[in-house]
Amino acid sequence: MVSTQLRKIYTTLFKEFGPQHWWPGETSFEVMVGAILTQNTNWSNVEKAITNIKNAGLLDPKKLLKLPDQRLASLIRPAGYFNIKAKRLKNFLRYFVDKYGGSVASMKKVSLERLRTELLEVNGIGQETADSILLYALDKPIFVCDAYTYRILTRHGLVDKNAVYNDLQEPFMDSLKHDAKFFNEFHALIVRVGKEYCKPVPRCSECPLK
């Protein structure tokens, strides 16, 4: 049973690592920005980019939206892919400001399903980024899947190796309680163990999952 396996994985990781206090961001808006900047990028590089934005006094949806693309790109340069990420961030900001006035509280009032559809319509926001924003910035109960989730589930034989995003997400959504805090903690633990042991070249023999 997949649900039993998932619970066991969670229990093992929580015992080993304890609570992770994720996502590293002081505000929901900072988490949203981070979710886009971290696409295929190490978090430490994202932190540098966010620090640049903060130091410029520009960590604000309307201020960032007004910024010329080139100026935004130069601020987020350390996060890599800075030209394309400047565009993607702008696309999100346009949506966030136009539809919700740049207010996290207004956005939170809308249902998970509708927000997910809206986010996926923004060019540059795919399933993982959308779900990261939903869970970590808006406290909506959806499980975030990523490269580590893929590796762990495939290496434990829980999904096929040609699994796509939905195939990874389904087992979590179908067999676990829909609780934002719990999903938050579980995904954070997966990243934690993934960073250390579930690399492209795995260190399974030392991994707490076995």
Partner DNA sequence: GACCAGGCACATC
Partner DNA sequence: GATGTGCATGGT
Distance CA 40, CA 25 (A): 18
Give just the sign of the alpha carbon dihedral 62, 63, 64, 67. positive
Task: Find the shortest distance in angstroms from Cβ 58 to DNA.
Answer: 18
> Which CB atom, from 85 or from 140, has the smaller least distance to DNA?
85
**CB-count burial class (<10 Å; 0-12, 13-18, 19+) for 157:** exposed
49 Cβ contact list (under 8 Å, min separation 6): 37, 75, 76, 77, 78, 79
Distance CA 46, CA 43 (A): 5
> Which CB atom, from 3 or from 84, has the smaller least distance to DNA?
84
Task: Find the shortest distance in angstroms from Cβ 49 to DNA.
Answer: 9
Task: Find the shortest distance in angstroms from Cβ 35 to DNA.
Answer: 7
Task: Find the shortest distance in angstroms from Cβ 1 to DNA.
Answer: 27
> Which CB atom, from 63 or from 77, has the smaller least distance to DNA?
77
Distance CA 180, CA 145 (A): 14
On the question of a cis peptide bond just before residue 43, with omega within 30 degrees of 0, the verdict is: no
> Which CB atom, from 3 or from 51, has the smaller least distance to DNA?
51
Task: Find the shortest distance in angstroms from Cβ 59 to DNA.
Answer: 17
Contact positions vs DNA (CB under 7 A): 22-24, 35, 38-45, 48, 77-78, 80-85, 122-130, 132, 144, 146-148, 191, 194-195, 199-201
> Which CB atom, from 128 or from 185, has the smaller least distance to DNA?
128
Closest CA to 36 of 46, 26, 22: 46
